[in-house]
Amino acid sequence: MLQLYIGNKNYSSWSLRPWLALRQLGIAFEEMQVRFDSFAPDSHFKQTLLALGPTGKVPLLVDDGLVVWDSLAIAEHLHERFPQSGIWPAPMADRARARSLCAEMHSGFGALRSHCPMNVEASLHEVGAKIWAEQSGVRDDVYRLIDMWGQQLSTHGGPMLFGSFSMADAFFAPVCLRLDRYGLPVPANIQAYVERVLALPAMQEWITAALAEKDFRDFEEPYRKASGMLSARD
């Protein structure tokens, strides 16, 4: 059986991407969670991951002894292993576009990722309003998402970016969480897409597990203090 190594569900946006694709598409795997204790070279987290692959990072997929790291490589490997599962859209042109969107997410949106790190349990709307007012890079990233998602939803009619759920939606699922938790402003059609992604059964499973962790990691928390945490979201 496939083994997928992930980090804390409350914080690990890159772990969420392949996990969501596997679970939502019904591909069996064993979840191997490694707690974020720190990212120091001698930490349990780093030592555990470095014993499996060269980067010491999550996500990491083990397939019958074959180790695949990096979310894009994992996506392509899953497509090769399960070509009929829906990892990528069926039409060639859609596959090419979906891969392009995922690659853009993989290498871009730095301002949004930097200023609005994923935090499932936190409600950070006041922080989000301040970020929106002060960080033009975040606004530019969100405007790009609005344009990108709007085009896809218009072309395919929804409910997901390419009609049916695919890896493209999994790649943008952590962004949907960011938009929601930080209360960043988006048009109604984009908000509806965000809500549909967050309502996916597999996404709800991830969110429930993240809320149950209650594992405050100060190095992942630029906006909250352990002694004064904001209320968890339902």
What fold, for 92-219? Glutathione S-transferase Yfyf (Class Pi); Chain A, domain 2 (1.20.1050)
Chain-centroid distance, C-alpha 63:
21
Sequence letter at residue 116: C
Residue whose entry in the numeric block shows the structure tokens 């929804």: 158
Please name every residue paired with 62 in a beta bridge, in sequence order, or none if there are none: 3, 67
Residue whose entry in the numeric block shows the structure tokens 């980067």: 55
Q: How many CA atoms lie within 13 A of 64 on its CB side?
A: 2
pLDDT tens profile 158-212: 999 999 999 999 999 999 999 999 999 999 999 999 999 999 999 999 999 999 9
d(CA 170, CA 185): 21
Residue whose entry in the numeric block shows the structure tokens 């809320």: 211
CATH number for the 2-81 domain, one of 3.40.30.10, 3.40.50.300, 3.30.56.10, 3.30.1490.20? Answer: 3.40.30.10
Give the pLDDT of residue 229: 53
Every domain of the chain and the residues it spans? 2-81, 92-219
What are the angstrom distances between the C-alpha of 135 and each of 97, 140, 187? Answer: 29, 9, 19
pLDDT tens profile 101-148: 999 999 999 999 999 999 999 999 999 999 999 999 999 999 999 999
pLDDT tens profile 142-155: 999 999 999 999 99
- pTM confidence score: 0.95
d(CA 208, CA 3): 21
